[in-house]
Amino acid sequence: MSKFKTLMKKREFRTLFFLVAIFIIVGLVNSDFLTIGTIQNSLKSSLLYIVLAVGLTVVLLTGNIDISVGGTLGLSAAVSGLLLKNGGSIFVSIVVAILIGAIIGLINGLGVTKLKISSFIMTLGMLEITRVIQVIYTDGQWVENLPAGFKQLSQMNVLGFNLLLIIVMAGVIIVHLFLTRSRKGRYFSAIGDNVDGAILLGVPVQRYVTYSFIASGVCAALAGLIFASQIGFISTTAGLGIEMTVIAASVLGGVSLSGGVGTVIGATIGAVIMISINSALIYMKIPAFWNDAISGLLLITIVVTDAVLSRRADKRTKKERLKARVLHQEEVSINHAHAK
């Protein structure tokens, strides 16, 4: 029972609970929603967002933010798409995309750590710059007619499950284990929790912040490849405004924007929620124009409730600590006896 309680207290669990609730409620209204096919479809369409949210979470953990993911996604997708179209091999184009993501991430990271530019501003500027570079590189044209072999990548199935889905899920679990179990992985949340403390403990803060931006850039590039493979063409506005959805997804999943708190699993669940709302609305026969309003309302409600709840919990622990400090141990136990 106590184990269940600690599980309940975990933020990700509450989000998961919420996701299940959405599925059940929509399933009650329209039972077609609760088939394996629909669930796998909504997971498949949220793949892109999951990958972006994982990368973003690493940055958010360090207390920074990366708004440039949409631009990185578009640019890497466009460059590797053109490569593929001109007969390049799939392997080369994947490597090129990852390299582009890593370079953009490196520039972001160096700007934040060396030039001391606030990460919000740095990546906002980078978002705009990468968009223009994409337009220049593609001449303002859409990249169409990608080779069928590449498009098939996103449709491959293994044992009845989508191959990409399996890979991404495995990736999420590996990143989660790295961030929570390994010494170096925990540096990221240590930096976000308390920079000065991390420095005193000998964490190379600047290097790890840069790493986090590189991770986010690489994830955005991978998301770009998924985008190209799933959709089959890359418009000049590919990934426009996606950054806001991804930030909202991470926050929904319990990742704090002030750093140090959150897990990639939570962010993944958040991403699935954000996308499931779309298909849930369709199954509930609500017009699609309610989409943004509902997502926004949901985000605000969840975040505000969460803030209020966590503050109340904070207050309680503080009170308990104060009690323990003011009263001696015996008195506390006497008080307890009285109370009983």
Partner 1 sequence: MLMLSRIPKWNLGLIVVLILEIIIFGLINPRFWNISILLNSFNDFIGIAIIGFFVTLVMITGGIDISGGSIIGLTSVVIGILSQAIGLNIWISIILAIVAAGLCGLLNGILIAYGRVQAMVVTLGGLLLYSGIAIVLVGVSGVSAYEGISGFPGSFSNLAYGTVFGIPSSIILFIVLFIIAYVLLHFTKYGRYIFLTGINQNAADYAGINTKKIIASTYVLSGLSAGIAGTMLTSYLGSARADFGSEYLMSILTVVVLGGTLITGGKGGIIGTALASIIVGFLRVGMQMGGVSTQYIGLATGLLLIISVALLSISSSTKENMKKLLRPKFMKEGNV
Kindly tell me which residue out of 21, 155, 177, 292 binds partner 1, with binding defined by CB under 8 A. Answer: 292
Q: Which residues, in sequence order, are CB contacts of 118 under 8 Å at separation 6+?
A: 112
SS3 at position 116: coil
Interface residue with partner 1 among 19, 124, 167, 332 (CB under 8 A) is 124
Pick the closer one to partner 1 by CB: 34 or 261: 261
Give the C-alpha separation, 6 to 14, whole Å.
11
252 is written with which tokens? 């929904």
User: What is the pattern of x (binds partner 1, CB under 8 A) and - over residues 28-57?
Assistant: ------------------------------
Specify the residue, 144 or 314, whose C-beta has the smaller distance to partner 1: 314
- Binding residues for partner 1, total number by CB under 8 A: 46
Q: Least CB distance from residue 251 to partner 1, whole Å?
A: 5
Please state, in angstroms and rounded to a whole number, the distance separating the CA atoms of residues 270 and 12: 9
The span from the first CA to the last CA of the chain, in angstroms, equals: 22
- Tokens 């284990």 belong to residue: 177
Of 96, 247, 269, 275, which lies in the binding site for partner 1, with binding defined by CB under 8 A?
A: 247
Please pick, from the candidates 98, 248, 265, 272, the single residue that binds partner 1 as defined by CB under 8 A: 248
How far is the C-alpha of 17 from the C-alpha of 185, rounded, in Å? 27
Among residues 39, 257, 281, 282, which is the contact residue for partner 1, using CB under 8 A?
257
Nearest to 250 by CA among 231, 275, 269: 269
- Could you give the CA distance from residue 167 to residue 165 in angstroms, rounded to a whole number? 5
User: In this complex, which beta carbon is closest to partner 1, that of residue 61 or of residue 168?
Assistant: 61
Among 7, 20, 177, 300, binds partner 1 (CB under 8 A): 300
Single out the residue of 155, 208, 147 nearest to residue 182, CA to CA.
208
* DSSP-derived 3-state class of residue 143: strand
Site string for partner 1, 180-219 (x = CB under 8 A): ----------------------------------------
Q: Which is nearer to partner 1, 131 or 176 (CB)?
A: 131
Asked if residue 294 binds partner 1 (CB under 8 A), the reply is yes
The only residue of 115, 148, 159, 339 in contact with partner 1, by rule CB under 8 A: 115
Question: Got the DSSP string for 148-208?
Answer: HHHHHGGG-EETTEEHHHHHHHHHHHHHHHHHHHSHHHHHHHHHHH-HHHHHHTT--HHHH
Closest CB 288 distance from partner 1, rounded Å: 8
| C-alpha to C-alpha distance for 310 and 242, rounded to whole angstroms | 29
Q: Considering only the stretches 143-151, 190-198, 210-218, 307-315, report the one whose residues sit in contact with partner 1 under the rule CB under 8 A.
A: 307-315
The only residue of 25, 201, 244, 309 in contact with partner 1, by rule CB under 8 A: 244
* Chain residues in the site for partner 1 (CB under 8 A): 65, 111, 115-118, 120-122, 124-129, 131-133, 135-136, 140, 236, 241, 244, 247-248, 251, 257-258, 287, 289-297, 299-300, 303-304, 307-308, 311
